[in-house]
Structure 1
Amino acid sequence: MFITFEGIDGSGKSTQAKALAATLEAQGIEVVLTREPGGSPGAEEIRRMVLEGEPDKWSPQTELLLFTAARRDHLEKTIVPALAAGKVVICDRFADSTRVYQGITRGDLRKQVDTLHQLMIGREPDLTFIVDMDPSVGLARAKGRQGTEERFEDFGVSMQEQMREGFLSLAAEFPDRCIVIDGNRDIDTVAAEIAGIAKANLG
């Protein structure tokens, strides 16, 4: 099964992806925990290019091409081999992030995003958890990490608000695989809800 986690910056999705991986592994399930952009050597190189630096470093169109290139490498080198080996793949962000970031908030590029996805990726997750979070709280959390990968956080809270609406719209667009989780609660409560849903889907 291919499971993805989505949400605004600072929503807690990365923490929840790790928690679910640990829970499943404790039950003897083989799990590959990965992330986007990244997840393969080539894609990690692209990650550094797109997440570091000034906000206006790349245009939305260039970002779309870079993210798609990273995703293709990630798919070939990590995701497809793991799924073929019968493992559960848990990915921190996937194509839905590109649909929101470049398709909605960074430019009106949704048509181009979908066209490139169909041509070069051609795969959707089996299950997507969208961790919903108050944008101002999420941004404060993200900025509090004080890392070097803050290019998108530097666009400010208005972009986070747009992103939240974008992710909620995707949940309505893809109801068969997207589940919205209230991320404003404590970590353990959120993790327990996610684990229960994942286990039910894994059978």
Structure 2
Amino acid sequence: MTAGRYIALEGAEGCGKSTQAARLAEALGAVLTRETGGTSIGQRIRAILHDTTVTHLAHRAEALLTAADRAQHLEELVAPALAEGRHVVSDRSVYSTLAYQGYGRGLDVEEVREINRWAIGDRWPDLVVLIDTAPAVLEKRMRSRQQLDRFEQEGDEFHQKVRDGFRHMAAADPAHWVVVDGAQGRDDVFTALRRAVQERLGI
């Protein structure tokens, strides 16, 4: 049996990746999941990470919580699905931790990478699609949300560092990353996304 392909959608808060991940999974007949919170245990971890009343979470503790979620997610959901020949589309992946806790929080990116390499058993996504959107567009979209979670409430400087981190990783690994302009309309973004998956993975 041919193993499935593991596709991750990444981007800053408000870039539209959750919507596009759902559309892509439907088009491919793939398993749709997310990080954090893709398993029942992960949902409990996610509740801590996104809770706005959690105000004293150490950056390293935050990074370790995301790694714990990811270890459970890969073992319980992603790896079995891929072994069964099913494609997996994930709304965020290991690279979000590198962007948010590494570049955003200022932790050593290589240390965070090594922790997560161990957590995922070195099973990285086959393709990462970064939906890159200008800060002004993201800010406008975020203002339309009635309630913001703990990460969404972070300041402009943090979100710019996260975006820069994603862009840096994409530029450093073009064999596994594709960048899509998130300022386009939703249908145009999906067209570019679908084309990238077909061209890179043949599915």
Q: TM-score, normalised by structure 2?
A: 0.91
1:101 aligns with 2:100: yes
For 1:104-119, list aligned pairs within 5 A. 104-119=103-118
**What RMSD, in angstroms, separates the aligned Cα atoms of the two structures?**
1.5
Contact 1:40 1:77 in 2 (8 A): yes
Cα distance, 1:120 vs structure 2: 2.0
1:42-81 residue CA offsets vs partner (Å, 9 max, x unmatched): 1111001111124733121010110000000001111001
* Structure 1 unpaired stretches of 5+: 26-30
**Unmatched tracts of structure 2, length 5 or more:** none
Cα distance in 2, alignment partners of residues 55 and 107 from structure 1: 19
SS of alignment partner, residue 145 of structure 1:
coil
The answer for the alignment partner of 1:28 in structure 2 is none
Number of aligned residues: 197
Amino acid at match of 1:138: L
Written as runs of structure 1 = structure 2, the 5 A alignment for 1:6-155 is: 6-25=10-29, 31-54=30-53, 56-121=55-120, 122-147=122-147, 150-155=149-154
Report the alpha carbon displacement of residue 197 of structure 1 after superposing the two structures with TM: 1.6
How far apart, in 2, do the equivalents of 1:57 and 1:152 lie? 13
Task: Answer yes or no: is the 8 Å Cα contact 2:59–2:105 preserved in 1.
Answer: yes
Cα distance in structure 1, aligned partners of 2:64 and 2:107: 15
Q: Percent identity?
A: 38
C-alpha distance in 1, partners of 2:142/2:190?
Answer: 19
Contact 1:139 1:153 in 2 (8 A): no
SS at match of 2:66: helix
Deviation at 1:143, TM superposition (A): 4.5
Aligned to 1:91, the other structure's residue is in SS state strand
Q: Which residue of 1 aligns with 2:166?
A: 167
Which is worse superposed, 49-58 or 103-112?
Answer: 49-58
Q: Which amino acid aligns with 1:167?
A: F
Distance in 1 of aligned mates of 2:21 and 2:164: 21
Q: How far off its partner does 1:119 sit? A: 1.9
Take 1:194 and 1:162, find their aligned partners in 2: how far apart are those partners?
24
SS of equivalent residue, structure 2 residue 52: coil
Contact 2:178 2:196 in 1 (8 A): no
Report the counterpart of residue 4 of structure 1 in structure 2. 8
Distance 1:174 1:55 in 2: 34
Letter in 1 for 2:139: L
